[in-house]
């Protein structure tokens, strides 16, 4: 979600209070967020990264165990659950609390200005919570493919691999890197092709996307 990184970032264990605060907060939200609670129950968070974003100094990012793949939904838009308030253990100060979600997986959180304070883990006030979707969606090319491919084919593709390529006045979407600059692409009409760099060729492929990926992964 964040693309500007702070070189002073450091890894540490996930603290129990971080997960309890998040879980207790999600319990107060509508049932549509139950799937986020299940991620905490599944213990998918391996460590925390602090100082992760130079632009958001209060942001704490999570790294994951392999189980996170069960919850990831490639191509879904990133969003924030924001405008939540939490207070310190003495009840004297309130802080802005935000939960960040990327591809349907909790990616991190922030408690603005918490440094030096201890948060009350059951204090979350969600009465005015807001869902904010990422406005500059860097997966827009993936979204464009939704008009071309079936849902089953979309699930096979990593959104981070996709970008638009214009070749001889034809629009392709890069979906898989091969060697020496070659790649597998999908034309805007849905035709799957192999594009080679030297010599330059655009070769239509007759196999399905599932068959192509099966072959590539076996190599």
User: Which pLDDT tens digits describe the chain residue by residue (219 residues)?
Assistant: 433 333 344 678 899 999 999 999 999 999 999 999 999 999 999 988 886 555 567 889 898 988 888 999 877 878 899 989 999 998 889 999 999 998 899 999 999 988 888 999 999 999 889 888 765 545 667 778 888 888 888 888 887 778 788 787 788 888 898 877 789 999 989 999 999 877 888 999 999 999 999 998 887
What was the pLDDT predicted at 5?
32
Supply the pLDDT for residue 7.
Answer: 36
What are the structural domain ranges in the chain?
10-133, 140-218
Within 10 angstroms of residue 115's Cβ, the number of other Cβ atoms is 8
What sign does the CA torsion over 74, 180, 164, 167 have? negative
Residue 8: per-residue pLDDT: 45
Closest by CA position to 99, among listed 126, 64, 117 = 126
- Quote the tokens at residue 171: 């629009």
pLDDT (0 to 100) of residue 200: 83
Q: List own/partner pairs for 189-198 with CB under 8 A and 24 or more apart.
A: 189/148, 190/148, 190/149, 195/165, 195/167
Q: Is the peptide bond before 138 cis (omega within 30 degrees of 0)?
A: no
């Amino acid at each position: 979600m964040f693309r500007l990184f702070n070189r002073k970032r450091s890894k540490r264990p996930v603290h129990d209070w971080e997960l309890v605060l998040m879980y207790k907060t999600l319990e107060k939200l509508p049932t549509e967020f139950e799937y986020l609670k299940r991620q905490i129950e599944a213990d998918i968070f391996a460590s925390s990264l602090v100082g992760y974003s130079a632009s958001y100094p209060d942001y704490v990012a999570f790294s994951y165990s392999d189980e996170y793949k069960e919850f990831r939904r490639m191509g879904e838009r990133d969003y924030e659950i924001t405008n939540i308030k939490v207070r310190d253990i003495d009840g004297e100060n309130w802080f802005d609390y935000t939960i960040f979600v990327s591809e349907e997986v909790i990616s991190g959180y922030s408690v603005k200005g918490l440094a030096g304070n201890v948060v009350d883990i059951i204090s979350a006030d969600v009465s005015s919570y807001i869902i904010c979707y990422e406005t500059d969606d860097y997966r827009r090319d993936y979204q464009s493919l939704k008009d071309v491919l079936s849902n089953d084919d979309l699930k096979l593709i990593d959104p981070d691999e996709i970008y638009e390529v214009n070749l001889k006045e034809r629009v392709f979407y890069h979906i898989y890197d091969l060697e020496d600059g070659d790649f597998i692409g999908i034309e805007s009409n849905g035709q799957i092709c192999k594009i080679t760099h030297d010599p330059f060729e655009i070769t239509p492929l007759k196999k399905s996307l599932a068959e192509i990926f099966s072959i590539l992964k076996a190599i």
